[in-house]
Structure 1
Amino acid sequence: MILIIPEVKSIIITGNPTIIGKLEIDETVDLGDDFLLSGTACIGTKESSACDNFDFTVISPKALDRKLNTTNLINGRACFIVKDFDIKLLKERIDDIISNCLGETWEEIAQKLSPYFYWEYEN
């Protein structure tokens, strides 16, 4: 049995209108205590440069509370709730998740990642 070892090729964070002129956030920045960001982890295998996109949300407790007051229900899947935005901490957590998702097939790996991310080929 040969296991496929996934790895993060890149992480893309977008969605903060307060950072003018910058579409992606690639460093730790002070976003205050009220933010909702979109993220994509580009994940592939160590043997290939190809990758699939796995999407997630990064949200502060204040933004989560505001959303709950508006919608009264939030699906918690693929959501990282953080007090302060720290790209290094986020990358470490995603690397930790990926390291526990070995599999014999890529589909098996994607299934193991599904509690944490939305795979671009889902459904």
Structure 2
Amino acid sequence: MKAELKLITDLFGEFSPAEYIPVNDDVFHITLLLGIGGVDSEAMDYFDVSICTLEWVRLNNVKPVILNNTILVDNYDFNEILKYINECINLCDGKNWHEVANNLSKFFLWEYDRYKTLSAVKE
């Protein structure tokens, strides 16, 4: 099974990532919401990914720091970011959607990451 990007927006739906222009191209951080689903389906799950510069990390984090679900860039180039996101998605296939989504969660924060059903929590 293969996946494809079906939606890309900022986390809160306030602006279009394709039209976003950072106030400072050297120091910025945004979080994108990605809707990703199987190529043969209209359904999608949501994944988050942060986009930021190394200088933003230096100014806003106590060291040491682990950067999960983050793409470091030198500047905001939406086309390059979109290309990279699609390259990551293309690396993630599997026998079923759950396997694909688990592979995607190595790059992006999956909405069901660490999800446990109520019955699993009670055990």
- Under TM normalisation by the shorter chain, which class is it? 0.7 to 0.9
| Structure 1 position 82 matched with structure 2 position 79 | no
Q: TM-score, normalised by structure 1?
A: 0.82
Q: Deviations over 1:56-110 (max 9, x none)?
A: 1111121111123xx2232211000111111111110011111111110111111
In structure 2, the residue matched to 1:67 is 60
The Cα RMSD (Å) is 1.8
Answer yes or no: is 1:112 the counterpart of 2:103.
yes
Cα distance between partner residues in 1 of 2:6 and 2:73: 23
Q: Which runs of 4+ in 1 moved over 4 A?
A: none
Q: Which residue identity lines up with residue 41 of structure 2 in the other structure?
A: S
Q: Distance in 1 between matches of 2:20 and 2:110?
A: 27
SS of 1:48 mapped into structure 2? coil
Q: Percent identity?
A: 24
Give the number of aligned pairs.
112
Instruction: Identify unmatched segments of 5+ residues in structure 2.
Output: 115-123
TM-score (norm 2): 0.82
Q: Is the 8 A contact 1:37 1:58 kept in 2?
A: yes
Contact 1:37–1:57 under 8 Å retained in 2 = yes
